[in-house]
Every structure is written in structure tokens, then in C-alpha cells.
Amino acid sequence: MSVPVRIQPDETFVLNVGPQHPATHGVLRVKMEMDGEYIVDAETVIGYIHRMHEKMGELKTYPQFYMNLSRMDYLGAMGYSHGHVLLVEKAAGIEVPERAEYIRAITVELNRISSHLFWFGAFVMDLGGFSPLMYALQDREHILDMLERITGSRLTYSYYRFGGLYNDIDDEFIESARRFIPRMRKSLKKYDRLVTGNIIFQKRLIGNAVLTQETCRKYGASSAVARGSGINYDVRKNEPYSVYPEFDFDVPVYNEGDSLARYKVRMAEIEQSLRIIEQGLDKLPGGPIMPKKAPKIIKPPAGDYYQAVETARGNFGIRLVSDGGKNPYRLKLRSPTYSNMHLFDETCKGMLIMDALAFMGSLDLVIPEIDR
Amino acid sequence: MIIEQTRNALQTLFPEADPGIDLQVQQEDSETTAESSDKQEDTVRTNGVIERDYQVHGYHIDAQVDPEQLLEAVGIVDSLGYFIESITGVDWIKENQLEVVYDFSRYDFDLCRVVIRTRVDRDAPVVPSITSIYAGANWHERETHDFFGIKFEGHPHLIPLLLPEDADFHPLLKDFKA
Amino acid sequence: MGKTNIPTIEEGVPSSIVQFASLDKLLNVGRANSLWPLTFGIACCAIEMMATGCARFDMSRFGAEVFRPSPRQSDVMIVAGTITKKMMPGIKTLYDQMPEPKWVIALGNCAISGGPFAFEGQYSIILGADQFLPVDIYIPGCPPRPEALLQGIIELEHKLSGWQRWNDPQSKEVPSL
């Protein structure tokens, strides 16, 4: 005798996504209250990879903290290190040779491309297409080769020093970077043909998780999340630092606010980064890469300093409270995906779970960078 | 200019009837030497708005307010269209105080960074929550509560965020021992 | 190593109770050549793990490319990243859910000993996967290069079947099968 299944009309259940889940790109956990396939409410639980960077910032001297920045965001480590060295140089009044700043800009942009490529592969994999990941990582390996040649590391670079760089670039690096630019442009066209026009891809992303400008402002979103919603905000343009005012590049902005807009922004950013690298290699001045009298012990005067940079994931801010000692008194790391991820809880309400996961992929999450 | 507009708007929190605070408003010279800024930090700061040198500090307006004035100050910043960057704390153990620092910035090309700070007693650290104004302050406040034990009054869900759910320690306090 | 605070997983279930010497050998060679790792990345090392599985390095040459997101379908857990106190129960649950026989690879310094995040007064991390898991292979590096992970996979194959893909140039012994 069979028993009829009784369905309660307004019954919900809690679905636990993560901390180990292939769609969360790391150890992120989202508790979702579901009504069938629809999300009624969601609560993001983070902190599964909290590695005490801010505590270590207080316990370590300034140069000892180099390595933490690259382990915070391992996909776009250069941008984070750039923020750190710029901040301490500003606070301690260290002059940086022009050549060093140009090399910094070139390496940051290379790293930004490698980060976007990885995101592109992982994002399309989230949506069910596996092969773009293979293409993207193949191109990414070329960047890693170049960067490894000068920094000695594949992911976790500690390349920048207060005042300059650890190592100068050589002709082979310049040549391989020049060769890489047309190759990447060709690949971008290939990706476009392979993915962007795909009807499944488009159907899943158009109109998915539309973010308004007001939501972005209330949560402090940046990077493609803000630029996909029509906010023309890029720290490199809005708050010029380093040698970025010397370069001619555009900030791609799309007004739709959906996941496809965020995808388009990132893909367009790769082209802009290539332009910066091209110009940087053309303009690269000679000279030293470290100042003649770089201070051995860094002791910024007491005070409160702030520096923001545009990393691959957005507006990264770093605040230093110094008491004049060898260690920072307080070092606050404002990570961009922390704010971008915070949007998720509110935005995903009423969405289908598969759409929510597509939205999560479009945020470009790196979990250790959220948890710090 | 947005910097002036913001400064004047925040200045309304400190009515001119009080001359002691009014003196605090000072234009910092761009050639401030390290020694003079040292001196400034040594003296205990009274509440008020200071315009900082962007080249040195990386922000433009530095306002210190009472915890009671916080919501009003943040409301002013919100009405001028700023976005929230972060909230953090600093443990001033020598003065037995905890400082909460709010960072705001702008999406448009009128570059202006605003820092609002408020100090509370270390023994009873209670600050009003600004989640009613900026929804994005939610996680930032929870994180600050994790690290410093500062209670944000009116926060909808003040449980540990980065630390384990049952955490009862505040690791960034200067007297924290693991 | 420091097994005082954290309950360890006892290897209570033997891989097979009845032993058939030759059949077991054959099975082990099969297992060694088709390791199914768990798709489980924690931090930086996970990116190198993905790079190992993708184009250039191509882990499938060694039969270990079938990354399974479910622990119930996988037989090797690659602990790729820092283990925090908040995450530890989750990792333990994942390990317990994997069917026997199963192996653990500690990938990177964090999973070996806490790596750069081990310092006096730390409050958040577990100093190494071997504090609560029986680790078979340790792969040092921060993060280890993809080649190092491949070497680790080959070492694991060697460990569980005694079979080697190639002769060790240092030793005169012929690989056994």
C-alpha cells in the first residue's frame, strides 16, 4: 500500500552549501533557506580560512610582512604587494626610482591578466563548460613562466621591496612579454568565439542578479561588480597612483548590472591591461631599481596612513597606524571581495539556486582574501 | 569642491558656540615635517574635523566624533553619496580606549576620502551600529566585534564572523594571549 | 606528533580482511594507477593543484585526473592549504566519509606544519594535517610546484603498490611486480 506524499505548500528547508563545495571556489559556506529550487534567505558563513594576517602585521616588522600580502590573494598577488609597498613608502618617505615603478605596473598588469584568465576558466566551469579552463590555464602558464623568471615564484610573489624591486627584468623578459601580447589578443578572440556567443551561456547570464548602483554603494562594491552596474570606478583612474597617469587606457563599463556585464568587463580589462603592458615596455626607462640609500630599518613616523590600489579583484585598501616603532601598531587590510561577497546574501533572495551559483561565480571570489 | 562641502557638512556637528573645538579646524601645510605631525599625535585629540594632507596620509577629511554623534555623521556622509570602504578598530591600550575607524570614499571623480573615528572606553566599548544607514556595514561591524570586542548597538546579527562560532576571545586587543 | 588535544582517526578498518596475496598486488597496481582525488582546495596550494590537473602539467598522464567533488567517490584526499580550527571538523568529516582504502597527501607547508602561519600566539590554525589525519605523503613548498605534486602522486603509487613507473637511477633494484 502506498502512502501519498503530503506536500506542505509553504514548507522550506535549509540547504548547506560548503565549506567544501565545488561551486564555492574554496572554503566558503552559504546556508540557504530553500523553497523548492528558490532561495528564500541566505546567510554566508566565512572565516574557514582566517589566517590572522592582521595579527601578523602587528607582530612582524615591515619587511617581514611582504609574504603575507601574496598569500592573501594568490591569484593576483602583485596588486596587493603593490598596495603594501606604496603605503609604507608613503609613510616612511622613501623615493622609488622610475624604472622600478614601471616594472611594478607591468608586473601588476601581467598578474591581473593571469588572475582574470583563471577566473574566466573557473567561471565557465561553474556554468558547465570545462574546456575553456584548459585554454585559459594554458595562456596563464605563459604569464607564470615570465613572472617566475624574474620573481622566482609561480604564485606567491614577494617581488617588491620598499623603495624598489628585488630583481631587475632582463631582455628575455621584455621579449617574451612582447611576444605574449599578440598571442593573448588572439586568444581573447578565440575565447570570445568559444564562449561569449554561446546560447546557453547567454541565457544563464543575461538578467542574472542585476545589481543597482545604490546597492553597490551601500555595500562598497568595486571592480567588475561596480563597473558592470555602470559605475565608472577604477582606483587607477579615480585616485591615480604609481605611474598609471602616464598610461593611456580605458575603464570598461557596462550598464546592464547582470552577470554577463561583469563577465564582459573582465574580458575587456584583459585588453586594457595588455595596452598598459605594451606602453610600459615602450616607455620603460633605464636606471636603478632600488634607491641609492634605501633605509635598512623601516620606521615610519607616528600617524595614520591609507593607500588604495586597484587589484584584480577591486579596490584594495590598506591602513597603517604607526607609533614610530619597527612594527606597525595596527595594519588593516580592506579586501575588495569581502565587500563584493557581502552583496550576495541580499541579492540572491528569490533566485533559483543555479542562478545564485552563476552569480557567485561572477563575483570572482578568492576566499583567503575574504577571510584574511 | 566636494572636500569643502563635506568638511562644512561635518563641521555642523561641532557648533561654533564651542570655541575650543572650532580651533581644531586647521589647514595642514603640505610641507608638514615628521616632527610636527609627531607632536600632533602626542597630544590627546579632541573631537572635531581636520583636513589632512592627502599626499602624506592618503585621505582628506578626518573627523573625530562622539559615539552619540556617529549616526548623524555617517548620515551626512551617506547623503553626500559616499560609499563605505571599511570599518576597523584600533586598541589604544595606554589611554585605555578603543577607537573605531570608518572609511568612506567616492565613486565619482571628485576624489575625497573621509575618515570618521570615534573613541570609547576600553571597559565598556559600545558604539551605535550604522547598519541602518549602510547595509554593507554588517560584516565590517561583526569583524570589528570579533577582533576587538566592540559591541555595536542595534546590529541585527552580532555573532562571530571570521572566528569560530563559539569564540569568546578578541585577538587584536593588545593584551590578548593565545 | 602532538596528538594530545585533537582526537585522531584510528585506522580501524583494514583495507581487506581476507588477504589474497597475488590478487591484492594486482588490485593495488590498479588502485595506484587510477587514484581519484577529492576536489577540495583550501588555499593557495589548491590553485597549483588545479594547474596540475589542467593543460601543461596534465595529471591524467598518471591516472589521477578524475577529481571528485564528493568524498564518497574519491580515495585520495589532497589537503591543499592551511587548516584552520574552524575548518578542521569539516576536513575530519570529509575524511571519514571517504571509503576505504584511502590515502592523504599533505600538499604544501601549511598542511605539513602550519607553514608561515605558525607563530607564537597564533589563535586560528592547526599545525599540520598529521595532527588529526594519517598523512601518507608530504609535499613541501609554498606553494609546491605542479611537478612536486606529480612527484607526490608517483610516490603514493609507489607506496601503495611497491610498483614504480621507472627505475630509481640511484638504486640497482628492478621495480617489483
Helices and strands (H and E) in chain B: how many:
6, 7
> Which subunits sit against B, judged by 3+ Cβ pairs under 8 A?
A, C
Specify the DSSP element, H or E, that contains B64: strand B61-65
Smallest CA–CA distance from B163 into chain C, residue:
C86
> Rounded distance, CA B103 to CA A222, Å?
15
Whether residue B30 contacts residue B55, with contact meaning beta carbons closer than 8 Å, is answered with yes
pLDDT bracket for residue A87 (50, 70, 90): very high
Among B41, B85, B109, the residue with its CB nearest the CB of A317 is: B85
pLDDT bracket for residue A83 (50, 70, 90): very high
Which chain C residues contact residue B169 at CB under 8 A?
123
| Per-residue pLDDT at B21 | 40
Does the interface ipTM go beyond 0.85? yes
Tell me, yes or no, if A346 comes closer than 8 A to chain B by beta carbon.
yes
Residue A200 is placed in which grid cell? 546557453
Beta bridge mates, C103: C76
Which chain A residues contact residue C140 at CB under 8 A?
none
> Rounded distance, CA C89 to CA A314, Å?
32
Residue C19 is placed in which grid cell? 588477504
Specify the DSSP element, H or E, that contains A34: strand A29-35
- The candidate with the shortest Cα–Cα distance to A359, out of A261, A265, A252, A266, is A261
Residue B148 is placed in which grid cell? 576587538
Residue A181 pLDDT exceeds 90:
yes
Handedness of CA B159, B165, B168, B169 (dihedral sign): negative
> Rounded distance, CA C110 to CA C132, Å?
14
- pLDDT tens sequence across B17-41: 444 443 344 444 444 444 444 444 4
Q: Cα(first)–Cα(last) distance of chain A, in Å?
A: 57
Q: What is the mean pLDDT of chain C?
A: 82
DSSP letter string, A71-131: HHSSSSHHHHHHHHHHHHHHHHT----HHHHHHHHHHHHHHHHHHHHHHHHHHHHHTT--H
| Per-residue pLDDT at B115 | 92
Handedness of CA A343, A348, A353, A359 (dihedral sign): negative
pLDDT bracket for residue C166 (50, 70, 90): confident
Contact C124 B163 (CB under 8 A): yes
CA dist list (Å): C147 to A75, C52, C139, C143, C154: 19, 8, 10, 11, 10
Beta bridge mates, A314: A311
Specify the range with the lowest mean pLDDT, choosing from B56-70, C8-22, C100-114, C128-142. Answer: C8-22
Contact A22 C69 (CB under 8 A): yes
- The candidate with the shortest Cα–Cα distance to C138, out of C91, C80, C97, C87, is C80
What does the pLDDT average to over B136-154? 91
Residue C169 pLDDT exceeds 70:
no
| DSSP 8-state assignment for residue A254 | -
Contact A52 C47 (CB under 8 A): no
Among C47, C54, C125, the residue with its CB nearest the CB of A51 is: C125
> Which subunits sit against C, judged by 3+ Cβ pairs under 8 A?
A, B
CA A126 to chain centre: 18
What does the pLDDT average to over C84-107? 90
| Residue with grid cell 528564500, as numbered in its chain | A40
| DSSP 8-state assignment for residue A194 | I
> Rounded distance, CA A306 to CA A303, Å?
10
Residue A328 pLDDT exceeds 60:
yes
| DSSP 8-state assignment for residue B29 | P
**C72: amino acid identity, one letter:** R
Q: B114-121 and B61-65: which strand pairing?
A: parallel
Q: What is the mean pLDDT of chain B?
A: 81
DSSP letter string, C79-101: EESPPBTTTHHHHHHHHHHSPSS
Contact C87 A48 (CB under 8 A): yes
- Residues constituting chain A: 372
Smallest CA–CA distance from C43 into chain A, residue:
A368
Which chain A residues contact residue B85 at CB under 8 A?
220, 308, 315, 317, 334, 339
Contact A20 C121 (CB under 8 A): no
- Residues constituting chain B: 178
Contact A218 B134 (CB under 8 A): yes
> Rounded distance, CA A130 to CA A288, Å?
45
